[in-house]
Amino acid sequence: MLKPDSHYSASHGPVSVRSRSDQMIVEGKLMRVYTLDVPVKRLSTGITDLHPSSNLSIMYLFLLNMTRPKIELGDVTPHNIKQLKRLNTVVFPVSYNEKFYKDVLEAGELAKLAYYNDIVIGAVCCRIDPNNGRKLYIMTLGCLSPYRRLGIGSLMLEHILSYVEKDGNFDSIYLHVQLNNDVAIDFYKKFGFEIVETKQHYYKRIEPADAYVLQKTLRKNVTNGEEQKDGK
């Protein structure tokens, strides 16, 4: 954190900084923010271009970059598959067999780990429906509870939705959820999934045993009797 009258080394060389402090809410946290009394353009060309008139905006961006966690997706490989197994054991009440993990290793972009500052905290695993190659099935999508509600579930689902959109050959994307999993139902509904079926006794060892099928139909136009993807 910068102290008043401290020196700040910026991309244009060391800059003597005079500052006054303010308090402001940054991403829900009360933080002390120092306003710089230096010519804006001396700090960083990129930031200056975005915010030519506000020193406070620059400081805000600077603090955001300092405090913002690094959240990213990575491939599942033989080197990290054990982390996926551990994660799934903690996140899901159902256990997955060796065949599941063998298939995941071959799923390419359809299986991803989510990292929070380089730590594995989430994962998504999908497969193409063996009975209907135009349907994508989400087998698992979840993150550790302390890391929920940070947009990580959305990041994983958006990755999969963007994959199916680019591929262009899928009619729908679907998954099963336990009847009482209101959080997951709300989450998927936000992305346009709908409950299309209830499967009684779907789960063997957990209660409730019934599951909803949540499905998102991918957008299609019908032109001259032929199915066509939007915009194609």
Q: Minimum Å distance from CB 62 to ligand COA?
A: 25
For β-strands 220-223 and 211-217, DSSP reports them as: unpaired
In the chain, the N- to C-terminal Cα span, in Å, equals: 51
**Site residues, ligand COA (CB under 6 A):** 91, 138, 140-143, 148-154, 175, 177, 181, 183-184, 186-187, 190
Active site residues: 137, 176
Structure token pair of residue 144: 């550790």
Instruction: Confirm if 94 and 100 have CB atoms less than 8 A apart.
Output: no
Nearest to ligand COA of 47, 143 (CB atom): 143
| Burial environment of residue 87 by CB neighbours within 10 A (0 to 12, 13 to 18, 19 or more) | buried
The CB-nearest residue to ligand COA is 153
Q: Minimum Å distance from CB 36 to ligand COA?
A: 32
Q: Minimum Å distance from CB 187 to ligand COA?
A: 4
Q: Minimum Å distance from CB 183 to ligand COA?
A: 4
| Cα–Cα separations (whole angstroms), residue 13 to 3, 10, 43, 102 | 18, 5, 9, 52
Nearest to ligand COA of 120, 138 (CB atom): 138
Nearest to ligand COA of 42, 148 (CB atom): 148
Nearest to ligand COA of 15, 73 (CB atom): 73
